[in-house]
Protein backbone atom coordinates (compact mmCIF):
# COMPACT_ATOMS: atom_id res chain seq x y z
CA UNK A 1 0.00 0.00 0.00
CA UNK A 2 2.99 2.27 -0.14
CA UNK A 3 2.80 4.33 -3.24
CA UNK A 4 5.00 6.10 -5.63
CA UNK A 5 5.26 9.83 -4.98
CA UNK A 6 2.81 11.92 -6.90
CA UNK A 7 3.77 12.58 -10.47
CA UNK A 8 4.26 16.32 -10.95
CA UNK A 9 1.46 17.92 -12.91
CA UNK A 10 1.76 21.07 -14.98
CA UNK A 11 -0.45 24.13 -15.13
CA UNK A 12 -4.12 23.24 -15.21
CA UNK A 13 -6.28 26.17 -16.37
CA UNK A 14 -9.40 23.98 -16.30
CA UNK A 15 -9.10 23.47 -12.56
CA UNK A 16 -11.74 26.00 -11.38
CA UNK A 17 -14.23 24.62 -13.93
CA UNK A 18 -13.58 21.07 -12.75
CA UNK A 19 -14.03 22.06 -9.09
CA UNK A 20 -17.46 23.59 -9.76
CA UNK A 21 -18.50 20.74 -12.07
CA UNK A 22 -17.40 18.21 -9.46
CA UNK A 23 -19.47 19.92 -6.76
CA UNK A 24 -22.60 19.91 -8.95
CA UNK A 25 -22.18 16.26 -9.87
CA UNK A 26 -21.56 15.40 -6.22
CA UNK A 27 -24.77 17.20 -5.33
CA UNK A 28 -26.69 15.22 -7.97
CA UNK A 29 -25.37 11.89 -6.68
CA UNK A 30 -25.80 12.89 -3.03
CA UNK A 31 -29.50 13.59 -3.71
CA UNK A 32 -30.01 10.16 -5.30
CA UNK A 33 -28.17 8.57 -2.36
CA UNK A 34 -30.21 10.61 0.13
CA UNK A 35 -33.38 9.45 -1.63
CA UNK A 36 -32.31 5.84 -1.03
CA UNK A 37 -31.55 6.45 2.65
CA UNK A 38 -34.83 8.33 3.24
CA UNK A 39 -36.84 5.65 1.44
CA UNK A 40 -35.30 3.08 3.79
CA UNK A 41 -36.04 5.12 6.88
CA UNK A 42 -39.53 6.38 6.07
CA UNK A 43 -41.19 3.64 3.99
CA UNK A 44 -39.00 0.52 4.04
CA UNK A 45 -41.91 -1.62 2.82
CA UNK A 46 -41.89 0.26 -0.52
CA UNK A 47 -38.55 -1.38 -1.27
CA UNK A 48 -40.33 -4.75 -1.61
CA UNK A 49 -42.18 -3.50 -4.72
CA UNK A 50 -41.29 -5.50 -7.81
CA UNK A 51 -39.85 -3.24 -10.49
CA UNK A 52 -38.35 -5.18 -13.42
CA UNK A 53 -37.31 -8.79 -14.26
CA UNK A 54 -38.88 -9.84 -10.95
CA UNK A 55 -36.37 -7.68 -9.04
CA UNK A 56 -37.56 -5.51 -6.18
CA UNK A 57 -36.93 -1.78 -5.70
CA UNK A 58 -34.21 -2.41 -3.08
CA UNK A 59 -32.09 -4.45 -5.51
CA UNK A 60 -32.77 -2.16 -8.50
CA UNK A 61 -32.07 1.06 -6.51
CA UNK A 62 -28.96 -0.44 -4.85
CA UNK A 63 -27.49 -1.73 -8.10
CA UNK A 64 -28.64 1.53 -9.72
CA UNK A 65 -26.58 3.57 -7.23
CA UNK A 66 -23.50 1.61 -8.32
CA UNK A 67 -24.25 2.04 -12.04
CA UNK A 68 -25.17 5.74 -11.69
CA UNK A 69 -21.84 6.37 -9.91
CA UNK A 70 -20.02 4.95 -12.92
CA UNK A 71 -22.16 6.85 -15.45
CA UNK A 72 -21.70 10.16 -13.60
CA UNK A 73 -17.95 9.57 -13.38
CA UNK A 74 -17.82 8.99 -17.14
CA UNK A 75 -19.85 12.12 -17.87
CA UNK A 76 -17.57 14.08 -15.53
CA UNK A 77 -14.52 12.77 -17.38
CA UNK A 78 -15.98 13.68 -20.77
CA UNK A 79 -16.87 17.23 -19.71
CA UNK A 80 -13.47 17.74 -18.07
CA UNK A 81 -11.65 16.49 -21.16
CA UNK A 82 -13.69 18.77 -23.40
CA UNK A 83 -12.90 21.81 -21.26
CA UNK A 84 -9.21 20.91 -20.95
CA UNK A 85 -8.97 20.56 -24.72
CA UNK A 86 -10.78 23.85 -25.36
CA UNK A 87 -8.58 25.77 -22.91
CA UNK A 88 -5.43 24.15 -24.29
CA UNK A 89 -6.40 25.30 -27.81
CA UNK A 90 -6.95 28.86 -26.57
CA UNK A 91 -3.56 28.82 -24.87
CA UNK A 92 -1.92 27.60 -28.07
CA UNK A 93 -3.59 30.33 -30.10
CA UNK A 94 -2.57 33.13 -27.72
CA UNK A 95 1.18 33.13 -28.51
CA UNK A 96 0.38 33.19 -32.26
CA UNK A 97 -1.87 36.22 -31.77
CA UNK A 98 0.77 37.95 -29.64
CA UNK A 99 3.39 37.35 -32.36
CA UNK A 100 1.03 38.78 -34.99
CA UNK A 101 0.47 41.90 -32.85
CA UNK A 102 4.25 42.46 -32.52
CA UNK A 103 4.69 42.34 -36.30
Partner 1 sequence: MVLSVTIFVLFVVAVLWLSLYLARQASSASGYFAAGGNIHWGVNGIAFAGDYLSAASFLGICGLIATVGYDGFLYSIGYLAGWIVALFVVAEPMKRLGKYTFTDALDSKFSSRGIQLAAGISTLVVSTFYLIPQMVGAGVLVKPLLGLPHAVGVVIVGAIVITIVASAGMTSTTYVQFIKGAMLIFFSLIISIAVCYRGLSTTPDQGGKVPFHEYAIIDAKVGDAGQIVPADGGYQVEAKHTGANDALYLRLKNGETANWWKKITGQAEGQFQLQEMASVTIAADGSRFINGKPATGENQQLQVGNLTQIQGKTGDEADTGPVGPFKLFAIIDDPQTTVRQFKKETSFSQAGYSITLFAPVDTPGNLVLRPGLKTKLESGTWMERLDFASLMLALFCGTAALPHILIRYYTVPTPAAARKSTIVAIAAIGFFYVLTLYMGVGAMVNAVIDPTDNNMSAPLLARSFGTVLFAIISAIAFATVLGTVAGLIVAASGAVAHDLLDRYSRLELNDRQKVAIGKAAAIMIGFLAVILGIVFEGMNVSFLVGLAFAVAASANLPAVIMLLFWKRTTSQGIVASILVGVITSIGLIAFSPEMYVQYGLPAKQALVPFSNPGMVSIPLSFITLIVVSLMTNNTAREASGEEVTA
Distances (CA, A) of 78 to 5, 30, 32, 64: 27, 20, 21, 21
The size of the chain, in residues, is 103
88 binds partner 1 (CB under 8 A): no
- Which of 9, 92, 97, 98 forms a contact with partner 1 (CB under 8 A)? 9
By CB under 8 A, tell whether 84 contacts partner 1. yes
Question: What contacts 65, CB < 8 A, 6 or more positions away?
Answer: 32, 33, 36
User: Is 51 one of the binding residues for partner 1 (CB under 8 A)?
Assistant: no
What residues from 25 to 44 belong to the interface with partner 1 (CB under 8 A)? 25-26, 29-30, 33, 36-37, 40-41, 44
Cα–Cα dist 30/32, whole Å: 5
CA distance linking residue 52 with residue 47, whole number of Å:
13
Rule CB under 8 A: which residues touch partner 1? 1-9, 12, 14-15, 18-19, 22-23, 25-26, 29-30, 33, 36-37, 40-41, 44-45, 47-48, 50, 53-59, 62-63, 65-67, 69-70, 72-74, 76-77, 80-81, 84
Amino acid sequence: MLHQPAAPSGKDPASPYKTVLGLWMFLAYALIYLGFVLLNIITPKTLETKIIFGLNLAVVYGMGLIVVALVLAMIYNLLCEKKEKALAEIEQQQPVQQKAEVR
